Structure 1
Amino acid sequence: MSSRYEELDSLRGLAALIVLIGHYMMIYPSYASYRYDSSSPYIFYLFKETPLRLFFSSGNESVILFFVLSGFVLYLSINNAKFHYPTYLIKRVFRIYLPYLIAIIIAILAKMLLSHNDMPFISNWFSKSWTVSDTPALLLQHLLFIGSYNTDAYNNVIWSLVHEMRISIIFPVLIILFIRKKFKYSLFWFMFLSFSSTMVLYLFGSNLNITSSLLSFHYITIFLLGAILAKYRHDLFNYTSKMKKTVKIIVLMIAFICFMYEGIIGEVDVLNNYIFRDYVVSCGVCIFMIISISSLKLSSLLRSKALTFLGKISYSLYLYHLISLFSFMYLFYDKLPTGLILIFSFFFSFLLSSLAYVFVEKPCMNLGSYITRRKKPVTEISVNPEPVKRKKIG
């Protein structure tokens, strides 16, 4: 019986869509330069500091959702009776790196063909991409993928994939060291690593590159939170399914508040720093994940065809939406209204992502599975086996 939770795929798809919308809004200078203590247009206040933030300004929060989900899913793939690390690593490379490689090559070619120096000012955020020189060193850094470099040069979103791939490589070891133990030990190590990473960033984290290894240390703890959730998923799902409807609604509202923490706290700098914010958002994400599976109504909604399709193409949508946006802006900025360009780019992003899913993602995953099926295991690691179950939550 499959252990795949389609509800979580749909959550990933919704998160990718939120990232897309947030990036499209960044085209507008007033939005891109918004500050909580500034007198920005009222419409942007609504998008940043009201419940509308969930749909227009939760890009960073969505990345945290990606990380928690990755920790959850990787734990399920690692925690079986006979875990074979080479097989795991090959599948991760074919799942993450190869689709990335195709996308970054397309981004580089599009930048070389379409960008031009006489593009008028749009926003500071927009000006960070497709404006740097194509040096051999920069191209090599992008091809090697997991180093520390300027990820804004061709496709801003790839910074999170650098952390994703780094952590994926070492994650089985982290599971064995920190999550195989009893709950109190797993919780202790999670708290210890969270405190340690926070201290490291506090002491050495000024002016960090967004792909810094120190940030990977921080995001490891977010992955581990997802792994802990996966380990105790059956107990959590069963407990939550027995809650009264009113209690579930209250818990869900708490999750929304946690997820929109940045907009609620606003200009309180002491509380609105990215380290503390990431942990608050992670708590909201965990609640979302639990409720999405343990609530029959929400589970049914997330299993709808439209949302499951969005979940399937979510990785490609994440990879290609900026390629579409930048291409359309350079092609049509002086020919069409900005709003119309964004609409056309929005629909083209879905077309491009659907094609990439069919012709890039699926073949890469199938190739990875084919290679690992033909490869005879050399070493196997026992990782606290537990039966794989996919129970229907009442």
Structure 2
Amino acid sequence: MEKIIPGVPNLQRYRQLDSLRGIAALTVFFGHFLGVKATILSYPKIYSTPLVILFNGNAAVMFFFFLSGMVLSLPYIDGERPLKLTRFYLKRIFRIYPALIFAIIFSVILKQFVFDRGGMVPFSGWLQSFWTWQWNRESFHELLKTALLIGPQFKKSFIDPPIWSLIIEMNISLFLPFFIRVVAKENLSCNLLFLILATTCSCRGDYWPLPIFHLGILFARYRHQIVAKVSCWPWFYIGILLLLALFFYNNTLEFLQPILRWPWPYKFVWSNYIIAIGAAFIITIVLARQKTAKFLEHRIFTFLGDISYSFYLIHLPLLLTMASLFSYHNSFSMVYIFLSTLVLAIAISYLMFIFIEIPLRAFGVKLIKKYKVFNR
């Protein structure tokens, strides 16, 4: 059942997609936890099998990008409401920044008063690379840039490493209305040509994720036709599609060594585009099979979806802190680190969702309704 957010128009939404986002956020956490002692590359028996989907944090972020393109375009792609730029941008600001600002303040408090640098010795070089800076004028300047998500020369892992993806979200949000309008107006042939053009122009620069968002918009545009077609398939064909989805979604790790030998941008950029296709296949299966959709609409999964954004923001600062505190505890230190981080991240994320995300999003909607200047 859909969650009603006071003050926010309750347009039809796919709750099963919220659940998928929550599961993806969990896989980011699992992947980061695996990196406490070593990176996932140290576990070839995992990353060369379908089990890697449980730890594939990079693929989960590509899934977030695809889903953002799809979900942000849904209210406009079918002509249900006019796309007003000021309204669109203001809603994005109130969606992203409130929880982000809290997560940054929370991370600073953890680093300053709880985190123990001396406790990081037993862990991987990757984990030890975070929070090595000291307070000075430069660090305050960097903290301000982090809070505003602006550059230049942005240190993406300065205080809360997952923030790197939010920089991309905000930058590409500036262009999304244009892409939504084009996709909504043009036919399939023109849209595919435009996708090829956008991919060719952006794959070599800082805006390489743009085609992933664009693909999500295209999926939103043709979702009814795609889902109607796939819903008639027998389970055998669905199984093949699922295998392809897993194959594409995990391609970066399944074919890591060959990919590492590719030249840029054919290294990770193009493999990330393949991940986005895998994400599209997964979403297609979920929307096309009613039993799968019903399963993902269970309250446990939708709860994970509700808190997924806040969970994504705070899980790594908590992991760093718990690792530093339990590093020399005893032979069960990894268990303590895992459980304490997971429980605290879920609890704090829920509080953030209730007391920060919902009220501030509702406040943004009230501003739009009250002042015409914001409804343009």
TM-score, length-scaled by structure 1: 0.85
The 1:339–1:86 alpha-carbon spacing in structure 2 relative to 1, beyond 3 Å, is same
Deviation, 1:82, is: 2.1
Deviation, 1:126, is: 0.9
Instruction: Please tell me whether residue 146 in structure 1 is matched to residue 142 in structure 2.
Output: no
Any conservation in 1 of the 2:87–2:375 contact (CA below 8 Å)? no
The 1:311–1:117 alpha-carbon spacing in structure 2 relative to 1, beyond 3 Å, is closer
The 1:300–1:128 alpha-carbon spacing in structure 2 relative to 1, beyond 3 Å, is same
The equivalent of 2:344 in structure 1 is 348
Deviation, 1:52, is: 1.2
Aligned length: 354
Q: Distance in 1 between matches of 2:176 and 2:283?
A: 21
Deviation, 1:114, is: 2.5
The equivalent of 2:46 in structure 1 is 47
The 1:378–1:282 alpha-carbon spacing in structure 2 relative to 1, beyond 3 Å, is closer
Q: Distance in 2 between matches of 1:344 and 1:64?
A: 27
Residues 217-247 of structure 1: per-residue CA shift (max 9 Å, x gap): 2111110000000011111111111112211
Deviation, 1:19, is: 0.2
Instruction: Please tell me whether residue 12 in structure 1 is matched to residue 6 in structure 2.
Output: no
Any conservation in 2 of the 1:65–1:285 contact (CA below 8 Å)? yes
The equivalent of 1:293 in structure 2 is 287
Residues 18-77 of structure 1: per-residue CA shift (max 9 Å, x gap): 001100111013x35x3xxxxx5xxx2222111210112x10000000000000011113
Structure 1, unmatched stretches of 5+, are 35-39, 202-213, 381-394
CA RMSD of aligned residues (A): 1.9
Tell me which amino acid in the other structure corresponds to 1:46: K
Q: Distance in 2 between matches of 1:372 and 1:325?
A: 38
Deviation, 1:124, is: 1.5
Structural mapping, 1:235-254, within 5 Å: 235-254=225-244
Higher mean Cα deviation, 288-297 or 366-375? 366-375
Q: Distance in 1 between matches of 2:62 and 2:83?
A: 27
Q: Distance in 2 between matches of 1:118 and 1:331?
A: 9
The equivalent of 1:387 in structure 2 is none
Instruction: Please tell me whether residue 320 in structure 1 is matched to residue 309 in structure 2.
Output: no
Q: Distance in 1 between matches of 2:122 and 2:375?
A: 56
The equivalent of 1:385 in structure 2 is none
> Sequence identity of aligned pairs in percent?
29
Deviation, 1:158, is: 0.4
Residues 163-213 of structure 1: per-residue CA shift (max 9 Å, x gap): 001111221123234553111111101111112223xx2xxxxxxxxxxxx
Equivalent position to 2:196, from 191, 196, 219: 191
The 3-state SS of whatever aligns with 1:232 is helix
Deviation, 1:116, is: 4.2
The equivalent of 1:307 in structure 2 is 301
The equivalent of 2:66 in structure 1 is 68
The equivalent of 1:168 in structure 2 is 173
Deviation, 1:123, is: 1.2
The equivalent of 2:5 in structure 1 is none
The 3-state SS of whatever aligns with 1:193 is helix
The equivalent of 2:250 in structure 1 is 260
Deviation, 1:321, is: 0.7
The 1:9–1:125 alpha-carbon spacing in structure 2 relative to 1, beyond 3 Å, is same
Tell me which amino acid in the other structure corresponds to 2:47: K
Tell me which amino acid in the other structure corresponds to 1:322: L
Any conservation in 1 of the 2:117–2:324 contact (CA below 8 Å)? no
TM-score, length-scaled by structure 2: 0.89
Deviation, 1:375, is: 2.1
Structural mapping, 1:87-166, within 5 Å: 87-119=87-119, 120-134=121-135, 135-147=139-151, 148-166=153-171
Equivalent position to 1:222, from 212, 217, 227: 212
Q: Distance in 1 between matches of 2:227 and 2:167?
A: 32
Deviation, 1:378, is: 7.2
The 3-state SS of whatever aligns with 2:160 is coil
Q: Distance in 2 between matches of 1:280 and 1:72?
A: 17
Deviation, 1:377, is: 5.7
The 3-state SS of whatever aligns with 2:257 is coil
Q: Distance in 1 between matches of 2:71 and 2:301?
A: 19
The 3-state SS of whatever aligns with 2:36 is coil
Structure 2, unmatched stretches of 5+, are 1-9
Tell me which amino acid in the other structure corresponds to 1:312: D
